[in-house]
Structure 1
Amino acid sequence: MLTVNSIKNGIVIDHIKAGCGIKIFNYLGLNSADYSVALIMNAESKQLGKKDIIKIENNLDMDLTVLGFIDPNITINIIDDETIKRKINLRLPDKIENVIKCKNPRCITSVEDSISNVFYLIDEDRGEYKCKYCDEIYKVSDM
């Protein structure tokens, strides 16, 4: 059995869908961190069967909107003196900006670099977003 010690102060990103932990790890730039970081992949989970976990021995300023878009079932635990001080449950954000790029070649965002890619959540159950400018549909599962 694998044992990873608890952290004194920092963040634990838990309940990550198995296989998605590396996306979050890379998004947060943890490969170049100068503090302790643990990426645990395919850990046993009673709820999910298998899950990924990231333990960060540091407090980071994270964009929870992007993390919620990557995996809306994530739980963020803020650890202080080896105790969970705050628990944040994520969900799909209502609006995302410059996280994904519209794939419609006729969309104004494909032509004008200065225009932000903005998508609005239209169906939370199916994880569907619609481009603000051209109504192109984007599914989270396409990511």
Structure 2
Amino acid sequence: MKGLIQRVRHASVDVDNQRVGQIDQGLLLLLGVERNDTHAQADALLKKVLGYRVFADEAGKMNLNVQQAGGGLLVVSQFTLAADTRKGLRPGFSEAGSPEWAETLYDYFVERARALHDPVATGIFAADMQVSLQNDGPVTFLLQAG
């Protein structure tokens, strides 16, 4: 399971010209599910996402996590994060989770996130989404469970 986090001033997701999720300051998480991912890995990645210190403290150092900074979390499913890009010029998706499994883990991740943090907004799984954001920094990290 992979999560690409971006520290944002604001972020939103639209589907069919309708806003389905948005946050102000916080983290945009693009979440990729691979075929062998487990609920335990989802829990581990969520712990890392919520605990990762990417927000500035009083001294201007990245010492605060999204919860300490009072930020939102926008979770967007991102199938292409599971791509194998090591060879050639076309991504391979043999490691990606099946749509059914990926949706199950995505829903589980969002449910757990909402139990531990507020606010949590989402896109719509497998929809054609338009994601808008203002990356703050820019600050972007690829996190992996395990």
Same fold, TM exceeding 0.5? no
Q: Which has the higher contact order (CA 8 A, sep 6+)?
A: 2
Q: TM-score, normalised by structure 1?
A: 0.26
